[in-house]
């Protein structure tokens, strides 16, 4: 087979690859990072590189003009190497560090009346032995097992071989006095299963902390809370972008990437790397205690079903193929070392249970921490992130569905969309007569783009001021230079180039508006299908609980104006922040809560929208601002009628 | 810290080491192998190298003459590098491939009436599912678990994460028909524990083989039988030197080596490497079937306690320290991948139970396969290998002990001793008038040394012909040039240099005779202590069963003549070959046998000889040929009296 030489960025040493290799693969060999937000499908256009010498075969050149192609530009993920080439890779977009402390930390109280002796599965015991002699040459393991049986009542304790390695030295170092940590789970048949987590020499102070971590693996952000399991106090809250982002921005892109050779292992290593990084940061943040990663003895993990598969290194391929069946919803317990976590290698890792391919453990954990499964009130719970998952119900019943809202609210699929970091426009107001906008930028500097909450705000303002009509068409009859014909059709200029950081106009285009309409329509249609499935009018919802860090910045008024949220009194809406990590925290503390999350997972009825005709109808009806059926949005209708805008009800 | 350059064998690239490094460590860095039969204790003198340039600090120079030291010779394991040096490493002794087929293969029959359906813990089941659709989106794992529960009755099956990785693709590849392999162990409480071992697409032929392996990890030799678990037939028997040999010839040397940095991991990798090599060879040997290592789904492992610790990578340090307590006698079940075996990664590896630090699973397995635990006859079972382990008893009771016989019978500690390979003198006859010897050499060529059976034969002949007296002193009054004053005292020449392969005389020295006397005395004293401990005269022993491949070549008459074996009628002796691997084979086939070996381990009474005063007395009394108390050896006494040799009874 022919091999070719590929020179990147004028480096002196070319890499040698087989004929047929993709430029992205060659770049990885050369140690050069090329972002692939769509997972290498050739859809996002972010992996554009320039071939300055030689030629490649392009399988797809989506998003490239004939002129681009003429100049040697190509998509690295779609370009097959069939000869010696030289490639220039433009500087890659940096994924900036999230403003963790002020944007994701939430106040949290331990479970009221938390009693670790009863609720905590991680147990700490002190054992004292008589040392062996010629009269009693019992081996160390049997000696330990005997005490676990007679002193503590555990007939059988699972002891991993890797822990067996240190038993003999610990027994002697502690002069036959040891502290043993067991993770004890009650089971249905009444026989608890006990797993040894650690064995340390000597008696340990009874009130000293026992460290645990609650983790939410988000598609975009991974959040970790470091907790003293003895007091229940959260000592550190940290979050970081999921390092998998470079290999795809949404779950579908990640699944596609995982299907490539080596992709699954790479994605697993990336997310485990992110968690390990968070563990290190969290340990350093703890005040008044010196905590090392090895001190973490128990972890609970929430996350959507794809994230769980990737975390455990299990191929997620079938999640995206009809009939959308995951390999598992409930993973077996594992030990930290099984996946490469830097916690204590024998720490038990409890992956929380999910419901379906698109309703994962982040949702069951959210339902738990939001208390949806214990309330009398008819509750709508939603987590608007990369996907839109929602739950309707109360302590009597729970129905759930997921709508592929697309990543528009995360800033993707929108020309000037971006994540909610420094430089993002997060709120917009439009003057109803001049159509001039004012906006607020995260961090206070010049804007670079518009984040999800900014897009909702912008769309609502455009609609309420008549800049767009109910179908999302820009009103070209208005006398403002901000509405103009752009490269890809009509657009509205939010910021002129002299106001922006990068010196280019920030605009919202007709195409962007369509993407946003589809996203909000999918979510609203989901609400309606859930309500219809149980025969309850959506308007009877008694409370709306919104989880997810994005949800925290959702402006209810504007969200109702565009028809993203149902038109209910504002006081019925409650923003809860990251409900998934909070649910993981509850399950980390208390076996009762852990049992509850399993009950939630098994009692929740999942509705598959792609198999549901009513969804399509509801979706089409919601593709307008705020909705075809205006009677569903009485406050919006009233506001429009109050304003001077010409408004057609048909 | 200072670093120095060490040049080996005039190589162009020196290795750079820190001050204080040993020559053995530097050699490893340079990729040069130096044998260390004593594990680097400076006792055996086999790691001698010559420092041709520069100087080293010698911690110990045992076995080196002042002249040697003058010429730069030193023990590599005892020489500390404190400056730039050049070293010449003499060619290392090759450990030759054992003549496996004709010397270790034994005829073996499956258990009579073997019924795999009932006795075999490895079960093969065929399952057929209805595929998922939008009406039933149950995840693959739950779907599988449901069928394991409803079709097969297993409430809970342990499925490792690594197996979970392939479940989804196997289910689809087999179009929802799969063959599942479970290892099902009955437990005391009646709930069997089931472990999934493999899952394959489609229905497999019900009579096709299910492959398993029975392994005995000897200190010197590792033996493996490849077995069809369905028929019970042994398809291949292979053996190979334990690759750990280079790091110590006996268990004590290995333990010392394991205590060094990196030593434990190296020893584990060496023995796993040997087993993997045997697996590959065995698979190729099978006729009429194509077997790959991955097809092996279950393994049982016997071996002494130190070998078991090293196999699992558990520090064996305390085995050699009073009161001689191992970390474990019974290891938990593991999976093949946990230790790096190339069998199916999920194959269950069942390490058989031992009794004490010096009575391991090789002995319990030997007792099982020899049927000591089920016989009415008072039985003496012994395994004479590097250590001398023995068991006395019947189905009523069992007592056991181990005497550190030392490796004399393996050819070590004897000037011209060697292993039982090509070139070893394995039998000797001495003319009673001329004192001229004749001998037989393994392989038929010129001799290179004397192996264990040859040494016993030689010593017996020397004694019976009066070449040595009962105390082992050479009779200098005999008129033969073969008895002479050698470099290290008196010696007897077995082969003149013109008859030998290496052109040097092969002799046995007074020092050698003392080592042999100590070894045989330790074993015979062990017999006596066992008998005394239960108040049974040793002479009442109804059968003597001898295991171990060395035992197979023991000449009973000559062994009795030197007082190694008790003076019983020859027909009471039975040589069984490798009883350990045979026991592992029985436990591999049948759960009943597996239960029996656990019963053997728990009912056997271990007598610690180092804490037993009677042992020392018995040992001293046995330091003569054949024994101080000649009434214990009536046939030897009669033979001596028949001969013309002047014989003093005191």
User: What's A121-201's CATH class?
Assistant: alpha beta
CB atoms near residue A632 (< 10 Å): 19
First to last CA, chain B: 65
Q: Do B165 and A314 touch (CB under 8 A)?
A: yes
**Domain B211-351 part of CATH 3.30.420.480:** yes
- HSE, side-chain direction, 13 A CA sphere, residue B206: 5
A60/A44 Cα distance (integer angstroms) = 12
Render A186-224 in DSSP notation, one character per residue: --TTS--EEEEEEEEESPPPTTS--EEEEEEE-SSEEEE
Q: Do A159 and B315 touch (CB under 8 A)?
A: no
Region A59-69: mean pLDDT is: 75
Q: Do B323 and A132 touch (CB under 8 A)?
A: yes
pTM listed for this prediction:
0.87
The partner residues of B204 in beta bridges, in order of sequence, read none
pLDDT digits (tens, 9 = 90+) for A615-636: 999 999 999 999 999 999 999 9
Q: How confident is the model at residue B352 (pLDDT cuts 50, 70, 90)?
A: very high
B45/B65 Cα distance (integer angstroms) = 12
Per-position b or e across A519-541, b if 16+ CB within 10 A of its CB: bbbbbbbbbbbbbbeeeeebeeb
What is the CATH superfamily name and number for domain A211-361? Domain of unknown function (DUF4445) (3.30.420.480)
Q: Do A330 and B142 touch (CB under 8 A)?
A: yes
**Domain A3-88 part of CATH 3.10.20.30:** yes
Strand A157-158 and strand A211-217: the pairing is unpaired
Q: Do B137 and A324 touch (CB under 8 A)?
A: yes
Q: How confident is the model at residue B38 (pLDDT cuts 50, 70, 90)?
A: confident
A468 pLDDT higher than 60: yes
Q: Do A611 and B134 touch (CB under 8 A)?
A: yes
In chain B, where does the domain assigned CATH 3.10.20.30 lie?
Answer: 3-88
In which residue are the tokens 């001998």 written? B439
What pLDDT, on the 0 to 100 scale, is given for residue A386? 65
pLDDT digits (tens, 9 = 90+) for A77-111: 889 898 999 999 887 765 544 444 434 456 787 78
**Binding-site residues on chain A for chain B (CB distance < 8 A):** 132-134, 137-142, 158-161, 164-165, 167-169, 172, 312-315, 317-318, 322-332, 334, 338, 356-357, 606, 608, 610-611
Report the share of chain B in percent with pLDDT over 90. Answer: 71
In which residue are the tokens 């939430």 written? A106
Q: Do B328 and A142 touch (CB under 8 A)?
A: yes
Chain B residues close to A611, C-beta within 8 Å: 134
- HSE, side-chain direction, 13 A CA sphere, residue A367: 36
Chain B residues close to A329, C-beta within 8 Å: 139, 141-142
Which CATH number is correct for B362-406+517-642, 3.30.420, 1.10.1740, 3.10.450, 3.40.50?
A: 3.30.420
Residue B388: helix, strand or coil by DSSP? strand
- B417 near B509, Cβ under 8 Å? no
B44 pLDDT higher than 80: no
pLDDT digits (tens, 9 = 90+) for A314-372: 999 999 999 999 999 999 999 999 999 999 999 999 999 999 999 999 999 999 999 99
A253/A41 Cα distance (integer angstroms) = 8
Q: Do A161 and B331 touch (CB under 8 A)?
A: yes
B102 pLDDT higher than 50: no
Chain A residues close to B161, C-beta within 8 Å: 312-314, 331-332, 334, 338
Per-position b or e across B619-637, b if 16+ CB within 10 A of its CB: bebbbbbbbeebebbeebb
Tokens of A38: 């769509």
Q: Do A161 and B334 touch (CB under 8 A)?
A: yes
pLDDT digits (tens, 9 = 90+) for B386-407: 678 999 999 999 999 998 777 7
When the pLDDT of each residue in chain A is averaged and rounded to a whole number, the result is 91
When the pLDDT of each residue in chain B is averaged and rounded to a whole number, the result is 91
Residue A50: helix, strand or coil by DSSP? strand
Region B296-324: mean pLDDT is: 97
Nearest chain B residue (CA) to A312 = B161
In chain B, where does the domain assigned CATH 3.10.20.880 lie?
Answer: 121-201
Chain B residues close to A138, C-beta within 8 Å: 325
Query: A144 to chain B nearest CA, in Å?
Result: 10
């Amino acid at each position: 087979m022919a091999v070719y030489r590929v020179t990147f960025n004028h480096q002196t040493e070319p890499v040698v690859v087989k004929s047929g290799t993709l430029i992205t693969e060659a770049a990885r060999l050369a140690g050069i990072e090329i972002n692939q937000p769509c997972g290498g499908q050739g859809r996002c256009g972010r992996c554009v590189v320039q071939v300055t010498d030689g030629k490649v075969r392009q399988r797809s050149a989506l998003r490239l003009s004939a002129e681009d192609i003429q100049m040697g530009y190509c998509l690295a993920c779609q370009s097959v190497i069939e000869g010696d080439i030289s490639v220039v890779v433009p500087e890659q977009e940096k994924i900036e560090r999230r403003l963790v402390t002020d944007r994701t930390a939430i106040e949290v109280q331990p479970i009221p009346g938390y009693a670790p002796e009863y609720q905590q599965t991680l147990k700490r015991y002190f054992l004292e032995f008589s040392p062996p002699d010629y009269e009693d040459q019992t081996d160390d393991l049997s000696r330990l097992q005997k005490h676990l049986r007679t002193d503590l009542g555990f007939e059988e304790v699972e002891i991993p071989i890797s822990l067996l390695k240190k038993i003999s030295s610990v027994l002697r170092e502690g002069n036959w006095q040891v502290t043993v940590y067991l993770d004890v789970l009650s089971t249905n048949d009444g026989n608890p299963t006990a797993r040894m987590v650690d064995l340390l020499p000597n008696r340990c102070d009874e009130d000293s902390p026992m460290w645990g971590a609650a983790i939410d693996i988000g598609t975009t952000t991974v959040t970790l809370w470091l907790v003293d399991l003895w007091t229940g106090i959260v000592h550190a809250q940290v979050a970081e972008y999921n390092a998998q982002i470079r290999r795809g921005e949404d779950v579908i892109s990640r699944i596609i990437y995982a299907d490539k050779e080596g992709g699954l292992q790479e994605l697993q290593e990336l997310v485990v790397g992110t968690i390990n990084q968070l563990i290190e940061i969290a340990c350093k943040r703890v005040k008044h205690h010196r905590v090392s990663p090895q001190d973490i003895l128990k972890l609970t993990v929430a996350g959507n079903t794809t994230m769980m598969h990737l975390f455990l290194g299990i191929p997620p391929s079938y999640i995206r193929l009809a009939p959308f069946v995951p390999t598992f919803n409930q993973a077996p317990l594992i030990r930290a070392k099984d996946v490469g976590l830097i916690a204590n290698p024998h720490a038990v890792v409890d992956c929380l249970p999910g419901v379906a391919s698109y309703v994962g453990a982040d949702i069951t954990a959210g339902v738990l921490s939001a208390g949806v499964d214990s309330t009398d009130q008819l509750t709508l719970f939603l987590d608007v992130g990369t996907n839109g998952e929602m739950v309707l119900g109360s302590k009597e019943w729970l129905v759930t569905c997921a709508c592929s809202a697309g990543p528009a609210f995360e800033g993707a699929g929108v020309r000037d969309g971006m994540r909610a970091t420094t430089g993002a426009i997060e709120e917009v107001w439009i003057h109803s007569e001049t159509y001039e906008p004012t906006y607020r930028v995260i961090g206070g500097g010049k804007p670079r783009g518009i984040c999800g909450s900014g897009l909702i705000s912008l769309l609502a303002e455009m609609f309420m001021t008549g800049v767009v009509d109910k179908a999302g068409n820009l009103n070209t009859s208005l006398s403002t230079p901000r509405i103009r014909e752009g490269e890809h059709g009509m657009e509205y200029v939010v910021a002129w180039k002299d106001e922006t950081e990068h010196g280019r106009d920030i605009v919202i285009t007709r195409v962007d508006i369509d993407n946003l309409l589809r996203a909000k329509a999918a979510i609203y249609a989901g609400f309606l299908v859930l309500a219809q499935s149980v025969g309850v009018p959506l308007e009877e919802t008694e409370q709306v609980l919104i989880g997810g860090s994005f949800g925290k910045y959702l402006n209810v008024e504007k969200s109702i104006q565009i028809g993203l949220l149902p038109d209910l009194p504002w006081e019925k809406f409650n923003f809860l922040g990251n409900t998934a990590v909070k649910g993981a925290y509850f399950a980390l503390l208390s076996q009762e809560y852990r049992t509850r999350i399993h009950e939630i997972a098994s009692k929740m009825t999942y509705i598959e929208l792609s198999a549901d005709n009513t969804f399509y109808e509801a979706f089409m009806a919601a593709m307008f601002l705020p909705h075809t059926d205006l009677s569903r949005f009485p406050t919006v209708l009233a506001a429009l009628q109050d304003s001077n805008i010409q408004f057609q009800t048909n």
